[in-house]
């Protein structure tokens, strides 16, 4: 029963996220900053997320060291729900529509929202299950994430078809699944691993989520396993974000050409561009998430069973290598979209499961302090390096799209090397954890 609750929990979190994610893209599409292209605005906004997270993550770690895991989840989730309601009030004609560049602020918020809540969920699940049960159940629990992403993207696409519902209203609607997820989180914490709370479960009710506060950065730097995990997260995020930036630039060029007849009416043009971008990304996310669901439900557990962690870690970089090699040969928008569906769906299923399983043999401090930092800050640092690539590539050396793709191919090879190293380190940490359990019994 606890497994079902956790599946439903992550399902609702991802449903909420994918309701607001297309709104983020559509809102960003009408953002104008003098001297910057749409591609640069998107890339640099992603880099700004990492700067914000550098300051936020030590505060999060400090909170985790002072409150129980249940209070941590409810506090952070409740904060995000309130902020979502405030963002809904910033749309034109509402109470807070005078805030300058609010679309950039919303872009930053959505990125932080996604990585923080998802990292927190998997830290809690690792704490609840432990390494042995986690290895068996994580591929099943992750089906909930893939399903929530599909439902969220499909639901958002369908809701904006109704005349009474605007794209902005998806922000308000997303609060409903988020609040439901918080209720389920509290329920699963009370039930514990098996449904009848043991002494281990009840003791965790009273303890802080992270029993000590060494700090996330010190933990990551002190353990080479965590350092390598952080570097892998940075590199794979760099690869994926660069591919997303390339796609966003091509989409904006195509849509602006399609809407050229509205250029004489800036207000109508902006509205049409925002809605068209929202619809395009809503459709893209639907196909990515549907493919992710199929992979998660039918292939991830089989890959783990027959190929182990090594195969789980190497599958997605191999797909990325094929995708970017194809893009370098044939840089066509439709083909790039297909390749991004293949890459992102593998990332959200196979690679996602592998990344979370890397944390199963770690300590509570690592789960609630280092993991959220790695899964949020280092992911956004990867986005930041992708932005830096755009800056240098467009402003200094004038790279073509194909040359950007070649850079990604090199990065994928680095990703492969880090994955191989992490496989061996994971085996070492898992053996050490098993020995510790044996000695304690």
Residue 214 · residue 368 · CB < 8 Å:
no
- Torsion of Cα atoms, 331 then 337 then 338 then 342, to 10°: 110
Domain count, the chain: 1
pLDDT at 224: 94
The whole-angstrom separation of Cα 221 and Cα 241 is 25
Q: How many residues does the chain have?
A: 441
Residue 290 · residue 144 · CB < 8 Å:
no
Residue 129 · residue 7 · CB < 8 Å:
no
Domain residue limits at 379: 2-440
Q: Which two tokens stand for residue 2?
A: 């606890």
- Torsion of Cα atoms, 243 then 48 then 368 then 151, to 10°: -50
How many helical (H) and strand (E) elements, i.e. helices and strands, does the chain have?
A: 17, 0
The whole-angstrom separation of Cα 116 and Cα 103 is 20
Q: What DSSP designation does 260 have?
A: G
Tally Cβ neighbours within 10 Å of residue 259. 15
What CATH number should be reported for the domain holding residue 8?
A: 1.20.1250.20
pLDDT at 181: 94
pLDDT at 321: 92
Q: Which two tokens stand for residue 36?
A: 């910057």
The whole-angstrom separation of Cα 277 and Cα 255 is 8
The whole-angstrom separation of Cα 118 and Cα 372 is 9
Q: Is the pTM of this model over 0.85?
A: no
DSSP string, 183-215: HHHHHHHHHTTTSS--HHHHHHHHS-SSSS---
Residue from 306, 323, 358, 290 nearest 146 by CA: 290
Helix residue spans in 299-400 (DSSP H): 300-329, 333-346, 352-357, 364-365, 371-373, 379-395
Tally Cβ neighbours within 10 Å of residue 186. 14
Residue 52 · residue 189 · CB < 8 Å:
no
In order along its 441 residues, the chain shows pLDDT tens digits of 788 899 999 999 999 998 888 777 666 666 666 666 666 666 677 677 778 888 888 888 888 888 998 999 999 999 999 999 888 887 666 555 556 667 778 888 888 888 889 889 988 888 888 777 777 888 888 888 888 888 887 888 788 778 777 777 888 899 999 999 999 998 888 887 766 666 666 777 778 888 777 788 999 999 999 999 999 999 999 998 888 877 777 777 777 788 888 877 777 887 788 778 777 777 787 788 789 889 988 999 899 888 889 999 999 999 999 888 888 887 777 787 888 899 999 998 999 899 999 998 888 889 899 998 998 889 888 888 888 887 788 778 888 777 888 899 999 999 999 999 999 999 998 888 776 656 555
pLDDT at 43: 64
The sign one gets for the Cα dihedral 30, 35, 40, 43 is: negative
């Amino acid at each position: 029963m606890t497994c079902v609750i956790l599946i439903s929990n992550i399902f609702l979190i991802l449903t909420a996220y994918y309701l607001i994610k297309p709104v983020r893209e559509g809102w960003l599409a009408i953002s104008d900053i003098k001297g910057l292209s749409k591609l640069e605005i998107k890339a640099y906004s992603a880099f700004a997320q990492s700067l914000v997270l550098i300051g936020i993550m030590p505060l999060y770690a400090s909170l985790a060291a002072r409150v129980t895991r249940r209070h941590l989840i409810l506090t952070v989730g409740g904060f995000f729900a309130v902020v979502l309601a405030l963002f809904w009030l910033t749309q034109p004609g509402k109470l807070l529509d005078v805030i300058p560049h609010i679309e950039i602020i919303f872009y930053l918020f959505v990125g932080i929202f996604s990585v923080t809540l998802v990292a927190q969920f998997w830290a809690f699940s690792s704490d609840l299950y432990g390494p042995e049960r986690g290895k068996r159940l994580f591929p099943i629990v992750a089906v909930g994430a893939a399903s929530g992403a599909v439902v969220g993207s499909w639901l958002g696409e369908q809701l904006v078809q109704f005349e009474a519902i605007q794209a902005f209203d998806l922000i308000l609607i997303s609060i409903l699944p988020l609040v439901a997820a918080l209720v389920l989180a509290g329920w699963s914490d009370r039930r514990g691993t098996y449904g009848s709370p043991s002494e281990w479960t009840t003791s965790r009710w009273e303890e802080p989520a992270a029993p000590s506060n060494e700090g996330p950065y010190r933990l990551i730097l002190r353990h080479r396993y965590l350092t390598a995990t952080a570097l892998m997260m940075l590199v794979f995020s760099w690869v994926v974000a660069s591919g997303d930036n390339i796609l966003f630039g091509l989409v904006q060029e195509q849509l602006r050409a399609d809407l050229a007849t509205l250029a004489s009416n800036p207000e109508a043009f902006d509205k049409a561009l925002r809605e068209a971008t929202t619809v395009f990304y809503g459709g893209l996310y639907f196909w990515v998430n549907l493919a992710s669901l199929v992979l998660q439900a039918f292939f991830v557990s089989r890959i783990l069973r027959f190929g182990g962690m090594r195969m789980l870690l190497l599958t997605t970089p191999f797909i990325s290598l094929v995708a970017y090699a194809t893009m370098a040969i044939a840089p066509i928008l439709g083909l790039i979209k297909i390749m991004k569906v293949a890459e992102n769906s593998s990332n959200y299923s196979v690679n996602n499961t592998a990344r979370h399983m890397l944390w199963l043999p770690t300590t509570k401090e690592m789960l609630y302090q280092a993991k959220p930092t790695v899964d949020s800050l280092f992911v956004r640092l990867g986005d930041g390096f992708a932005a830096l690539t755009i800056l240098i590539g467009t402003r200094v050396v004038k790279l073509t799209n194909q040359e950007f793709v070649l850079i990604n191919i090199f990065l994928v090879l680095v990703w492969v090397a880090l994955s191989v190293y992490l496989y061996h380190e994971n085996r070492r940490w898992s053996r050490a954890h098993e020995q510790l359990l044996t000695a304690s019994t």
